[in-house]
Amino acid sequence: MSFATALFEHDFLRVVALAALIAAVSGGVVGTIVVTRRLAFLAGGIAHATLGGMGVAQWAGLDPLGGATVAAVMAALLIGIAAHSGHEREDMLIGAIWAIGMAVGLIAIAHTPGYQTDLMTYLLGNLLMVTAQDVAVMAGLMAFVLALLFLFWRPVVATMFDDEFATTRGLPTLAIQLAVLVAIALVVVVLLRAVGLVLVMALLTLPTATAGVFTHTLGRLMAASAVAALLAMWLGLEMALRTDSPTGASIVLSAAMLYVAALSYRRLRQTRNRSQDQHRNIRLQTHNQ
């Protein structure tokens, strides 16, 4: 059964489709910033730090998604403030937070009785297990991130791509940079439910890499990245239902296939353009003779 057919037969799949839409838009928009500013390692550090928050929340009997949100925001702020102060190397700090988050999470999970099936969905991703409550949280986080970027679009662009110019204009560059890092952290939490902690970085980078084959304007790149992410979500869910495969891995594999297809298209287009240029030069030489 295809996902499109099952969507009209099972009510819970409509919740899944809505969650996929939210994750695609969030990941596409913020993933553009991650890729253009080369923040993939930072996003990975934040993602793995969430395991500590989820583990502690599960141990305390609280919502793992709430724990992940707190841990992600704390990690983002710590990295941003420490990097701005210049006292610590950013890559060293990210690596430390990455490792500490994983260690705290694993210890907390080990001291929590029972098999943690709920945490496994966050680690490996299972979009089919998403609930209406999860969607509400994801929608709230997405709305906050999009509102933040919309209201402060010009200051964000100026600070992220030319912070010296932004400083001369009197913009609060540290506050803006921290806000962007918090936005990345919140989108990481959104994507946890879609593809899991292990594969978050792929969904933050592959759709933007695919969109970058066709456009380079920032606004258009964000829109195209969201479309590419949504298409990867749809194809991944189709693959998962037809082959009984994990949804998170299927979505990321679909995103990778789209990227390879985009690269192949660009290569064919470049080859065709070179061939046309060669034929044009030959005709000009023949005409001149």
Q: Measured over all CA atoms, what is the biggest interatomic distance in the chain, rounded to whole angstroms? A: 87
User: Domains (ranges, CATH) in the chain?
Assistant: 3-288 (1.10.3470.10)
Amino acid residing at 57 = A
| pLDDT in the model for residue 211 | 94
Q: What is the per-residue pLDDT for 82?
A: 85
In this structure, what are the phi and psi dihedrals at residue 87, rounded to the nearest 5 degrees?
Answer: -80, -25
DSSP class of residue 213? T
* Residue position matching structure tokens 């707190």: 70
pLDDT, tens digit (0-9, with 9 covering 90-100), for 193-218:
778 887 888 889 999 999 999 988 88
64-106: per-residue pLDDT in tens? 888 999 999 999 999 988 887 777 778 888 899 999 999 998 8
Tens digits of residue pLDDT in 151-169: 888 888 888 777 777 778 7
- Average pLDDT over the chain reads 86
pLDDT confidence tier of residue 117, bands split at 50, 70 and 90 = low
DSSP string, 104-159: HHHHHHHTS-S--HHHHHHHH--GGG--HHHHHHHHHHHHHHHHHHHHTHHHHHHH
Quote the pTM value: 0.85
Could you tell me if residue 5 is left (phi over 0), alpha (psi between -120 and 50 degrees) or otherwise beta?
A: alpha
